[in-house]
Structure 1
Amino acid sequence: MTIETVMRLAPVIPVVVIDDPAHARPIAEALVAGGLPAIEVTLRTPAALEAIAEISTVAGAVVGAGTVLDDRQLDQAIGAGATFAVSPGLTERLGRAAIERDVPFLPGIANASDLMRGLDLGLRHFKFFPAVANGGLPALRALAGPFGDARFCSTGGITPDNAADWLADPVVLCVGGTWIVPRGTPDPEQIRSAAARAADLRRAVSRKSRNRQ
């Protein structure tokens, strides 16, 4: 599986913070049932690696590790069962480690220098982060202009109200969604419903495009 394959599984990759490993399975099952199989579990809590291991056993789930900061965390995430890795930024050391381990990798970029560093490593897919704080969609369009091969997952400030606007741009393959799974004790039905609405965003974008023609 490539990182592009992961990005095209659904229009939204839920970004999930899990404090209790017991929450991992019901969250993942609800997300998959709602149509969002790619799940990013951030390495921000002591429970994260155990949660990744649990989600890796859920049928239909494609679990990745987010907030990967260095090669040590990358190895821990892979060992726990992560299928892909996401980082908030990009260092040459981390990029090379991901390439050497042949793990689908989505590094964060915020400017042209970040993007050029990734392209030099042979990477073509990036997380634009923090998307809204970095100037939003106009900034991404300006940044992507000179780099025609690059494709993006926009994360940071993406909401149900603006996600469709981002997804309508051809350089944006998906967005990261922190709103799908609120932190704390999960409500599986609420998560499934939010996931289903997010999974429908691509069709909503297509309908808007047809209406404008």
Structure 2
Amino acid sequence: MIDRILAKRIVPVIVLDDPASAEPLAEALLAGGLDIMEVTFRTAAAEESIRRISARFPEILVGAGTLLEIEQVKRAKDAGAQFGLAPGLNPKIVEVARAEGIQFSPGVMTPSEVEQAMALGCKLLKFFPAETAGGVGMLKNLAGPYGHTGVKVIPTGGITSANLASYLKLPVVAAIGGSWFVDKALIAAGDWKEITRLTKEALAAAAQA
């Protein structure tokens, strides 16, 4: 999973209100060259959306985001999720995800949380909320004592096309998580062509960085 994320360096953070949008959205992302998706468990449509994507598009690395409860981890795995993320660090969730066979990235914001995640065996971490938590400057400081450990982060929260390059230039950053190119308004409007265009644009910017 880490190798695939490192290859693309972008993880779309997706909120779906209707499972019927899941498959055309997946097609739009694939058309744009992106085969990774994070569907957040913020809506009732998340589980069925993951199930549809994983069944029809086995080539997509599909994950579940905002996993806050043990039951959600199990439901995500049963639906076909291959990885999971959370905004915070909950040791119980990490333990269950490991037992379920899901690669899990807990959210961290401070040195203490990074060390707790490392102690739990997590090396790919979600840095959230990235911009509010100090952004690039904070990550540079965290990389000082932890960069040599092999820890990598996926900054999420406030990442846009305007600032993604500044994050991706940091060696500690594996990829960025963003939603500007999979905006809920575009999904609701069924504007798949625009999502494909924005995806291509984002991948090109990531490649340059």
Paired residue for 1:25?
23
Q: Secondary structure in 1 aligned to 2:175? A: strand
Cα distance change of structure 1 residues 60 and 9 upon mapping to structure 2, 3 Å threshold? farther
Q: Secondary structure in 2 aligned to 1:68? A: coil
Paired residue for 1:8?
6
Q: What is the correspondence of 1:134-173 to structure 2 with a 5 Å cutoff?
A: 134-147=133-146, 148=148, 149-173=150-174
Q: Which runs of 5+ in 1 are unaligned?
A: 206-213
Cα shift at 1:55: 1.0
Share of identical aligned residues, percent? 39
Q: Which runs of 5+ in 2 are unaligned?
A: none
Deviation beyond 3 Å, 4+ runs, structure 1:
none
Q: What is the correspondence of 1:1-213 to structure 2 with a 5 Å cutoff?
A: 2=1, 4-56=2-54, 57-147=56-146, 148=148, 149-183=150-184, 184-205=188-209
- What is the root-mean-square deviation in Å for CA atoms of aligned residues? 1.2
Mapped contact 1:86–1:106 kept (Cα < 8 A): yes
Cα shift at 1:97: 1.3
Structure with a larger share of its residues in helix: 2
Cα shift at 1:6: 4.0
Task: Give the partner amino acid of 2:196.
Answer: R
Q: Secondary structure in 2 aligned to 1:173? A: coil
Aligned residues: 203
Mapped contact 2:10–2:206 kept (Cα < 8 A): no
Return the alpha-carbon distance in structure 2 between the equivalents of residues 121 and 134 of structure 1.
22
Mapped contact 1:7–1:153 kept (Cα < 8 A): no
Q: Secondary structure in 1 aligned to 2:13? A: strand
Mapped contact 2:53–2:62 kept (Cα < 8 A): yes
Return the alpha-carbon distance in structure 2 between the equivalents of residues 113 and 70 of structure 1.
22
The TM-score with structure 2 as length reference comes to 0.93
Cα shift at 1:120: 0.5
Cα shift at 1:182: 1.4
Q: Secondary structure in 2 aligned to 1:119? A: helix
Cα shift at 1:169: 0.8
Q: Deviations over 1:89-144 (max 9, x none)?
A: 11111111122222111111011111111110111110100000001100111122
Cα shift at 1:62: 1.4
Task: Give the partner amino acid of 1:199.
Answer: L
Mapped contact 1:71–1:94 kept (Cα < 8 A): yes
